Amino acid sequence: MSSVDTTIRLIRTGAQDGSICSPDLAEDPWVIDLERMPGYGPGSSMGDIIPTGSPRQGQIPEEYRTASKDELDARIRAAKETLGERVVVLGHFYQRDEVVEYADFVGDSFQLANQAMTRPKAEAIVFCGVHFMAETADILARPDQSVILTNLAAGCSMADMADIDSVTECWEQLEALYGTEPDADGRAPVIPVTYMNSSAALKGFCGEHGGIVCTSSNATTVLEWAFQRGQRVLFFPDQHLGRNTAKAMGVPLEQLPMWNPRQPLGGNDDQALADAKVILWHGFCSVHRRFTVDQVEKARVDFPGVTVLVHPECPMAVVDAADAAGSTDFIGKAIAAATEPGVFAIGTEINMVNRLAAEYPQHTIFSLDPVVCPCSTMYRIHPSYLAWVLEGLVRGEVINQITVDDAVAVPARIALERMLAAKPGLTAAQVIGD
């Protein structure tokens, strides 16, 4: 099976049938960054508005931009060999195969940050993922370890949808409405919960305000933790993960208002906020927003008996129409656990789906979305950038270091530690009861 990159190029040149969401996908990332559009780049979030001041990637030396695939391969392998245990390369599940092949670990954002910790001799942690992941790795890393993001333009459009200023403004409005005193059971008026896919500043905000971080694997446990300590939750940035998780825990949809930071009280009235159990920030993932109920229905018609597995960042109607919803780790494990050959339609990023299809040839595994449309920001990483930063390390130069100041890293670590300590255990009645 060919990689997503190869498929894109074949479709672009007409050598293979199919459709891609942008012809620019066939371009190299430095062309996109410097010559075409100062946005997220082609792919699933290309229509999203990138905040002004988002990191840009400067021009990398020509020798890397023009090197052939074979030359880059030889240089990356030689640099890794020279650096040995002094470097660890991390590749996210959503990263292209052409980069993942050099990764020492492949996983989700939190698994990767933790895996880096299993390499105590690593002086440098090279992230082939997106910005918030490198920040998390830096928060958890030792002070003498440097974390490198291979392309600084690899941000996350969903993480960018909640910034510290808008969340602080929201918090002040909620404090004015609810007050700051706990109720008779000692529960705070609101507990902030941030998804791992958020800036370090928001993790720090949660650490400072009695809140916590969650991943898509532990969102239920984290919401239970929050309901033990608070009357309601402010959940950011992904509305869909918040809604899908709270709904599955039994919270009625009327108690899940959405907060639009561009409107007073987030576009809600006092009563809706008084009744709220989870206030959902209006963010979304443009990869997962592409999946639709029509696609699920088509998969069921085309492949009777198909198992539809989707990520909880998908819209609620898609999650409801699927057979199961869960994190990347959940989806991978669900397929690994299938003993009989089966058909799986998957609603998550195409690189991961493609890799699962190659890894489990006994099954038919395909993306629910017929259009090839990778995560635009992951797609900014290319082997040229990896060769550039690794050869920098060989010369003793740390390129594209991501550093989180202690003023943010210390409270952010508290919010992450609360997540690690959270244990499942509340009943549905405890969650939704007043």
Binding residues for ligand CIZ (CB under 6 A): 108-110, 196-197, 215-216, 311, 327-328
From the number of C-beta atoms within 10 Å of its C-beta (0-12, 13-18, 19+), residue 25 rates as buried
Distance CA 404, CA 430 (A): 37
Q: Would you say 88 or 214 has its CB closer to ligand CIZ?
A: 214
Distance CA 408, CA 97 (A): 33
Q: Would you say 109 or 150 has its CB closer to ligand CIZ?
A: 109
Q: Would you say 45 or 197 has its CB closer to ligand CIZ?
A: 197
Please enumerate in sequence order all residues whose Cβ is within 8 A of that of 192, keeping only pairs 6 or more positions apart, or say none.
167, 171, 205, 206, 209, 210, 211, 212, 233, 234, 236
**Nearest distance in Å: CB 38, ligand CIZ:** 24
**Nearest distance in Å: CB 375, ligand CIZ:** 9
Residue of this chain nearest to ligand CIZ (CB atom)? 108
Q: Would you say 133 or 188 has its CB closer to ligand CIZ?
A: 133
Q: Would you say 196 or 246 has its CB closer to ligand CIZ?
A: 196
Nearest one of 328, 296, 332 to 312, comparing CA atoms? 328
**Nearest distance in Å: CB 421, ligand CIZ:** 19
**Nearest distance in Å: CB 363, ligand CIZ:** 20
Q: Would you say 72 or 309 has its CB closer to ligand CIZ?
A: 309
Distance CA 143, CA 410 (A): 12
H helices of 13-130, where? 29-31, 62-65, 69-83, 97-100, 109-117
**Nearest distance in Å: CB 94, ligand CIZ:** 7
Q: Would you say 115 or 215 has its CB closer to ligand CIZ?
A: 215
Distance CA 110, CA 292 (A): 27
User: What angle, rounded to 10 degrees, do the helices at 131-140 and 200-208 form?
Assistant: 50
User: If you ran DSSP here, which 8-state letter would residue 36 be given?
Assistant: I
Element (H, E) at 324: strand 324-325
**Nearest distance in Å: CB 84, ligand CIZ:** 27
Nearest one of 434, 427, 402, 388 to 75, comparing CA atoms? 388
**Nearest distance in Å: CB 100, ligand CIZ:** 14
**Nearest distance in Å: CB 16, ligand CIZ:** 28
E-assigned strand segments in 228-298: 233-236, 258-259, 278-281
